[in-house]
């Protein structure tokens, strides 16, 4: 009944074709209605309507990050931004681009590439992932060491508050301190403080050279020691990966651990950096060294970023962090702790930024399964609890990015309440007073 | 709130000598480097986070406004006290608490001076990148409040890109860490909301910043043009060609002449526009960029390009640039420095417009700016005793602001809004946008006690109108804060 009334009210705002009953499932909950506004004005009007009707709303872009977050307390409408797909402003010489939220990362990058430019934000599944979703989920990869994360790249934004009000923050210039950073606050808020309508990014010239190296090590400590030494030669990014991760990435295992290092910049500089890094790797005991040039390098890193992002629902994916210099301990500890799991657990760690991604493939589960048996669940839970404790011991935190509903019920996706929680709750109350946006999916039940 | 009672309560949490309240003592705290001035009820000098917390708890209890202050070098009035309020100075909180070489971070107190940090870590081959022109005096706490920039923002970004974590005492006295050495703490990014909030959301008591390795090579050029728009065209084409130098700074002839008179750094006297280009990084990178940059400058009409041959020569070039605003004091008793930003491709057009405005209003406008970022600093020179001139300066300034906003730009690139630009905020933002910003502030400061009279328009009309007679012009020029 509610659905019918809402359907007819939404039909007054958007065309019939923009309303569907086909919406994505979030942690087992499937919204009865899907709506895909075709303009920013329509998006605002739809949110205002959902606010008035106090309807639990799941905003989504390409739907590639819907596993992130605690299970929503309710999910009545899926609000898709996919039809907001215009690149609304791009002046290459200004190194600034503005796009609607539903523009996919791949489309944006292709447009930028025509002018030898790039948005240095690494996003899994770029063909489907949208820029709005990438910003809301604060997606990033190892290149953040050089270019930062979305908060460093987003210069302005238009977003819709929970009550349907369209708000502008920041601007379309590369340097701006006029007004407060509401657009920075939307980064990583998972759409719980507003629905991103457009975003303006600072972009960069494509590097003249882009090369990567792979070193194979038998000992993880040697890989991290090499990473620390390579840092003196100013890599753009680095990753350490275990055998399972290598299998996923290359279909082959080069050694117990590999260190991947990326250099970007001027031709001559990159050539020298590659030579210097090779010497460093050899010094640290690397068994083999391979160099990947240009397109191969970019492909290699996209594979790393995609790792674990698009797998079966029974799999577990988490991201942990630590003080960068201590990541080696977290990595080594978790690899040891994963041994009794009896499943494929793969690890990649970012030694420069201090983050780690782990995917666990539930060996017995079938692709169509949405749950695992009690023993498997208990093993996963124990491992996650241990992993979180280890991350915290080294100054970091752990966020469960994918898990079954049962696992999410047993293990707090976000972990203990952060400092300043009261202010976060105040912000939620201020920007989404009816709590319609992704209710319950964010930190501490926000 | 009775001042005597307030002082007594403050002295119950801080030592007597750390609560300044006698009118004759307060007078030196009435202003920052902007035009406004206001006497507070008291100035407090806490030493620790716990003391800050106690002061803020007291302020909330008594509903007394609080304004935090660093070195007072800010140009927009962010640290001007509140009437009957507490001015909280962080000048006693000036320890560098930790240098972590392995993670390339520094943990500092808010009163540490920007340049002191770089000097302190120089022997490690590291430095702190954001470099406001006032860096020899301004504090890192103030930099966080204003999200300060500087000449090298172009390549390295502003304060927000270099802060990893903050210890903040929020209104009411609650202490929390936002961000930290490990990335990706779950929750909203409160840290990014607080950086650049101009002291309206709390007091920062510890700052964790990134340190960068000192580049292995640096080259500095002085490209000399007939006029500023030509220099702007060179900037656009350098960036349009995929080169992002460390700095691209333009000065017009009014500025270079004033600098020459003050500092004798060797800028040409007869050039309409001078462009400082600095490239840094790996030697091969510089080798790749040098020729392109030089030929792009020539194409844009550079009549001469000088190369700083030694580190000393490079320093001389920068000494002139960073001393520019101070040197303007020689030309007129007062100046009104603006801080608009425009898309870089609009620079030639907007600088032509600024020239036209100067002619139409018959005032001198001196330009020295971060051209690479599109961040203008027109300095409108005047004598505050000349009422007609003051009115012309106000009108001219407003035309420039309007033109920059119409060009798709912003009101402020790095100086902040404070009191100076608050009445123009509704030129840039709609009421809904401003209300959303107020909501953000209230989430931290429900009683609206922190720097309560800043940033938002009061509806009293353009602030520049406040540049009126009787506002102690001597201070206005002596406060040589250089951006």
Quick check: is B431 in a domain? Answer: no
Determine whether the interchain pair A430/B411 forms a contact, defined as Cβ–Cβ distance below 8 Å.
no
Residues B70 and B149 in one domain: no
Residues B56 and B194 in one domain: no
pLDDT digits (tens, 9 = 90+) for B292-338: 999 999 999 999 999 999 999 999 999 889 888 888 888 999 989 99
The size of the A-B interface in CB pairs under 8 A is: 250
Quick check: is A311 in a domain? Answer: no
Q: What is the CATH number of the domain that holds A370?
A: 3.30.70.600
Residues B271 and B375 in one domain: yes
Quick check: is A436 in a domain? Answer: yes
Is residue B343 pLDDT above 70, yes or no?
Answer: yes
Residues B236 and B331 in one domain: yes
Nearest by CB: B187 against A175, A268, A424: A424
Quick check: is A12 in a domain? Answer: yes
Pairing verdict, β A355-361 and B247-252: unpaired
Q: What is the CATH number of the domain that holds B34?
A: 3.30.43.10
When the pLDDT of each residue in chain B is averaged and rounded to a whole number, the result is: 93
Residues B387 and B318 in one domain: yes
pLDDT digits (tens, 9 = 90+) for A385-440: 999 999 999 999 999 999 999 999 999 999 999 999 999 999 999 999 999 999 99
User: Cβ distance A61 to A24 under 8 Å?
Assistant: no
User: Cβ distance B251 to B158 under 8 Å?
Assistant: no
Tokens of B374: 């599109």
Q: Where are the alpha helices (DSSP H) in A339-439?
A: 374-393, 405-410, 421-431
Give the domain-ending residue among B382, B415, B448: B415
Interface pTM, i.e. ipTM: 0.97
Q: 3-state class of B224 per DSSP?
A: strand
Nearest by CB: B189 against A178, A187, A354: A187
Quick check: is B147 in a domain? Answer: yes
When the pLDDT of each residue in chain A is averaged and rounded to a whole number, the result is: 95
Dist CA B30 CA B32 (whole Å): 7
Residue B326, pLDDT score: 85
pLDDT more than 70, % of chain A: 98
Residues A213 and A190 in one domain: no
Give the domain-ending residue among B213, B239, B262: B213
CA-based max dimension of chain A:
71
Residues B406 and B321 in one domain: yes
Q: B-chain residues within 8 Å CB-CB of A96? A: 343
Q: What is the CATH number of the domain that holds B332?
A: 3.40.462.10
Is residue B469 pLDDT above 60, yes or no?
Answer: no
User: Cβ distance B58 to B85 under 8 Å?
Assistant: no
- Mutation target to probe the B interface, by most B beta carbons within 10 A, among A159, A160, A169, A175 is A175
Expressed as residue numbers, the domain containing B56 is 3-91
Quick check: is A61 in a domain? Answer: yes
Q: How many structural domains is chain B composed of?
A: 3
Confidence label for B465 from pLDDT (cuts 50, 70 and 90): very low
Quick check: is B163 in a domain? Answer: yes
Dist CA B338 CA B413 (whole Å): 10
Nearest by CB: B188 against A169, A185, A268: A185
Pairing verdict, β B42-44 and B86-89: parallel
Query: How far from A236 is each of A69, A250, A337, B209, B320, CA to CA, in Å?
Result: 30, 21, 31, 20, 34
- Mutation target to probe the A interface, by most A beta carbons within 10 A, among B150, B157, B183 is B183
Among candidates B212, B169, B235, which has minimal Cα distance to B449?
A: B169
Instruction: Give B20→chain A minimum CA distance, Å.
Output: 32
Chain A residue with Cα closest to B238: A93
Determine whether the interchain pair B432/A185 forms a contact, defined as Cβ–Cβ distance below 8 Å.
no
Determine whether the interchain pair B437/A319 forms a contact, defined as Cβ–Cβ distance below 8 Å.
no
User: Cβ distance B326 to B73 under 8 Å?
Assistant: no
Expressed as residue numbers, the domain containing A176 is 1-206+416-446
pLDDT digits (tens, 9 = 90+) for B205-229: 999 999 999 999 999 999 999 999 9
**Count of other CB atoms within 10 angstroms of residue B385:** 11
User: Cβ distance A405 to A371 under 8 Å?
Assistant: yes
Instruction: Give B392→chain A minimum CA distance, Å.
Output: 25
For CA atoms B110, A322, A423, A187, give the dihedral sign.
Answer: positive
pTM: 0.96
Quick check: is A226 in a domain? Answer: yes
Give residues with Cβ within 8 angstroms of B190, minimum separation 6: A185, A420, A423, A424, B168, B176, B178
Determine whether the interchain pair A269/B281 forms a contact, defined as Cβ–Cβ distance below 8 Å.
yes
Contact status of B240 with chain A (Cβ, < 8 Å): yes
Residues A56 and A193 in one domain: yes
Determine whether the interchain pair A204/B244 forms a contact, defined as Cβ–Cβ distance below 8 Å.
yes
Residues B43 and B184 in one domain: no
Is residue A369 pLDDT above 80, yes or no?
Answer: no
> What is the DSSP track for A214-281?
EEEESSHHHHHHHHHHHGGG--SEEEEEEHHHHHHHHSS--SSEEEEEEEEE-HHHHHHHHHHHHHHH
The residue with tokens 């620790």 is B48
Give B 264-283 residues with CB within 8 A of chain A: 281-283
Confidence label for B471 from pLDDT (cuts 50, 70 and 90): very low
Q: What is the CATH number of the domain that holds A174?
A: 3.30.465.10
Residues A251 and A104 in one domain: no
Tell me B65's DSSP state: -
Instruction: Give A345→chain B minimum CA distance, Å.
Output: 22
Residue B468, pLDDT score: 38
Tokens of A281: 């790797």
Residues B123 and B199 in one domain: yes
Confidence label for B462 from pLDDT (cuts 50, 70 and 90): low
Give the domain-ending residue among B181, B213, B245: B213
Quick check: is A70 in a domain? Answer: yes
Residues A216 and A101 in one domain: no
Question: CB-based burial of residue B447 (10 Å sphere; 0-12 exposed, 13-18 middle, 19+ buried)?
Answer: middle
pLDDT digits (tens, 9 = 90+) for A270-328: 999 999 999 999 999 998 788 888 788 999 999 999 998 877 777 899 999 999 999 99
Q: How many structural domains is chain A composed of?
A: 3
Tokens of B345: 């491709």
Query: In this structure, which long-range contacts are made by residues A267-270, counting pairs with CB atoms below 8 Å and at least 24 apart in sequence?
Result: A267/A208, A267/A209, A267/B284, A267/B288, A268/B284, A268/B285, A268/B287, A268/B288, A269/A209, A269/B281, A269/B282, A269/B283, A269/B284, A269/B285, A269/B288, A270/A207, A270/A208, A270/A209, A270/A210, A270/A211
């Amino acid at each position: 009944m509610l659905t019918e009334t809402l359907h007819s009210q939404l039909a007054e705002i958007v065309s019939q074709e923009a309303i569907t009953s086909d919406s994505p499932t979030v942690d087992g909950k499937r919204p009865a209605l899907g709506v895909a506004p075709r303009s920013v004005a329509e998006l605002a009007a739809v949110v205002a309507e959902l606010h008035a009707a106090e309807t639990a709303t799941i905003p989504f872009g390409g739907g590639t990050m819907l596993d992130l977050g605690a299970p929503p307390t309710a999910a009545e409408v899926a609000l898709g931004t996919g039809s907001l797909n215009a690149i609304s402003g791009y002046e290459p010489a200004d190194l600034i681009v503005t796009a609607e939220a539903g523009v996919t990362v791949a489309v944006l990058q292709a447009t930028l590439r025509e002018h030898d430019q790039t948005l240095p934000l690494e996003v899994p599944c770029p063909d489907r992932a949208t820029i709005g979703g990438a910003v809301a989920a604060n997606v990033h990869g190892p290149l953040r060491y050089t270019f930062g994360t979305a908060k460093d790249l987003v210069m302005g934004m238009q977003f819709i508050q929970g009550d349907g009000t369209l708000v502008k923050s920041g601007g379309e210039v590369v340097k701006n301190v006029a007004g407060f950073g509401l657009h920075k606050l939307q980064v990583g808020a998972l759409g719980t403080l507003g629905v991103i309508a457009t975003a303006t990014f600072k972009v960069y010239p494509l590097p003249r050279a882009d090369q990567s190296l792979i070193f194979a090590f038998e000992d993880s400590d040697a890989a991290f020691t090499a990473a620390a030494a390579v840092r003196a030669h100013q890599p753009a990014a680095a990753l350490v990966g275990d055998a399972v991760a290598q299998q996923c990435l290359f279909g082959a295992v080069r050694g117990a651990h590999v260190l991947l290092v990326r250099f970007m910049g001027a031709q001559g500089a990159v050539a020298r950096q590659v030579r210097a890094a090779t010497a460093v790797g050899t010094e640290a005991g690397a068994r083999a060294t391979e160099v990947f040039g240009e397109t191969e390098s970019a492909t290699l890193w996209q594979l790393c970023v995609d790792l674990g992002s698009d797998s079966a629902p029974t799999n577990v994916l988490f991201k942990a962090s630590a003080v960068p210099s201590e990541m080696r301990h977290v990595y080594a500890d978790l690899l040891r702790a994963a041994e009794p799991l009896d499943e494929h657990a793969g690890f990649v760690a970012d030694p420069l930024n201090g983050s780690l991604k782990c995917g666990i493939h539930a060996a017995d589960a079938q692709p169509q399964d949405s749950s695992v048996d009690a023993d498997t669940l208990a093993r996963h839970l124990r491992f996650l609890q241990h992993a979180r404790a280890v991350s915290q011991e080294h100054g970091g935190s752990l966020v469960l990015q994918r898990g079954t509903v049962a696992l999410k019920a047993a293990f707090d996706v976000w972990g203990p309440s952060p400092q300043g929680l009261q202010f976060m709750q105040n912000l939620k109350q201020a920007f989404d007073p009816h709590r319609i946006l992704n209710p319950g999916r964010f930190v501490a039940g926000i | 709130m009775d001042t005597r009672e307030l002082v007594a309560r403050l002295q119950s949490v801080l030592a007597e000598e750390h609560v300044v309240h006698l009118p004759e003592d307060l007078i030196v705290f009435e202003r920052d480097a902007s035009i406004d001035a206001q006497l507070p009820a008291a100035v407090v000098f806490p030493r620790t986070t716990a003391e800050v917390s106690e002061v803020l708890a007291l302020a909330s209890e008594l509903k007394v406004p609080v304004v935090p202050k660093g070195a007072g070098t800010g140009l927009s009035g962010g640290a001007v006290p509140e009437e009957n309020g507490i001015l909280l100075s962080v000048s006693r909180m000036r320890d560098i608490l930790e240098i972590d070489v392995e993670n390339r971070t520094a943990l500092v107190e808010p009163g540490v001076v920007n340049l002191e940090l770089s000097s302190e870590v120089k022997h490690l081959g590291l430095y702190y990148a954001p470099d406001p022109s006032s860096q020899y005096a301004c504090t890192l706490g103030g930099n966080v409040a204003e999200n300060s920039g500087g000449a090298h923002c172009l390549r390295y970004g502003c304060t927000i890109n270099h802060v990893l974590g903050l210890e903040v005492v929020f209104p009411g006295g609650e202490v929390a860490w936002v961000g930290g050495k490990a990335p990706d703490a779950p929750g909203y990014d409160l840290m990014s909301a607080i950086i650049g909030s101009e002291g309206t959301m709390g007091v920062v008591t510890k700052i964790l910043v990134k340190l960068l390795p000192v580049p292995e090579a640096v080259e500095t050029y002085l490209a000399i043009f007939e006029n500023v728009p030509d220099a702007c065209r060179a900037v656009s084409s350098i960036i349009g060609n995929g080169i992002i130098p460390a700095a691209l700074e333009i000065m017009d002839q009014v500025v270079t002449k004033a600098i020459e008179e003050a500092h004798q750094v060797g800028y040409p006297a007869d050039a309409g526009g001078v462009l400082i280009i600095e490239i840094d990084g790996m030697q091969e990178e510089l080798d790749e960029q040098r020729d392109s940059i030089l030929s792009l400058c020539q194409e844009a009409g550079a009549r001469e390009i000088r190369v700083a041959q030694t580190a000393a020569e490079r320093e001389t070039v920068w000494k002139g640039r960073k001393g520019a605003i101070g040197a303007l004091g020689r030309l007129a008793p007062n100046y009104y420095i603006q801080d608009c930003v425009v898309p870089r491709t609009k620079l030639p057009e907007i600088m032509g417009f600024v020239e036209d405005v100067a002619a139409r209003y018959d005032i001198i406008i001196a330009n020295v700016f971060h051209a690479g970022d599109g961040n203008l600093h027109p300095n409108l020179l005047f004598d505050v005793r000349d009422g007609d001139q003051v009115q012309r300066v106000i009108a001219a300034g407003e035309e420039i602001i309007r033109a920059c906003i119409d060009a798709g730009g912003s009101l402020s690139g790095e100086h902040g809004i404070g009191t100076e630009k608050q009445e123009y905020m509704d030129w840039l933002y709609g009421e809904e946008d401003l209300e959303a910003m107020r909501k953000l502030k209230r989430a931290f400061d429900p009683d609206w006690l922190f720097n309560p009279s800043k940033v938002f328009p009061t509806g009293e009309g353009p602030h520049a109108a406040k540049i009126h007679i009787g506002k102690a012009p001597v201070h206005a020029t002596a406060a040589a804060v250089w951006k």
